[in-house]
Amino acid sequence: MTDVTAAVSPLRRRMIDDMSLRNLSPATQRSYIHAVKRFSQYHGCSPDRLGLEDVRAFQVYLVSQGVSWGALNQTVCALRFFYGVTLDRAEIPERIAYARTPRKLPAILSADEVVRFLEAVSSLKARAALTTAYAAGLRAAEAVSLKVADIDSDRMLIQVRHGKGAKDRTVMLSPQLLGILRTYWRLARPEEWLFPGRGDKPIDVQVLHAACRSATKAAGLVKRVSVHTLRHSFATHLLESGTDIRIIQVLLGHGNLSTTARYTHVATSTIAGTQSPFDRLTLEVVPPA
Which residues are the active-site residues?
139, 164, 228, 231, 254, 263
Amino acid in position 2: T
Contact 57, 41 (CB under 8 A): no
The answer to whether the Cα torsion of 77, 80, 84, 90 is positive or negative is negative
DSSP per-residue codes, 48-90: GG--HHHHHHHHHHHHHTT--HHHHHHHHHHHHHIIIIIS--T
Contact 129, 203 (CB under 8 A): yes
Identify the DSSP state of 241: T
Taking Cα atoms as reference points, which of 77, 90, 100 lies closest to residue 19? 77
3-state secondary structure of 100: coil
Q: How far apart are the first and last CA of the chain?
A: 81
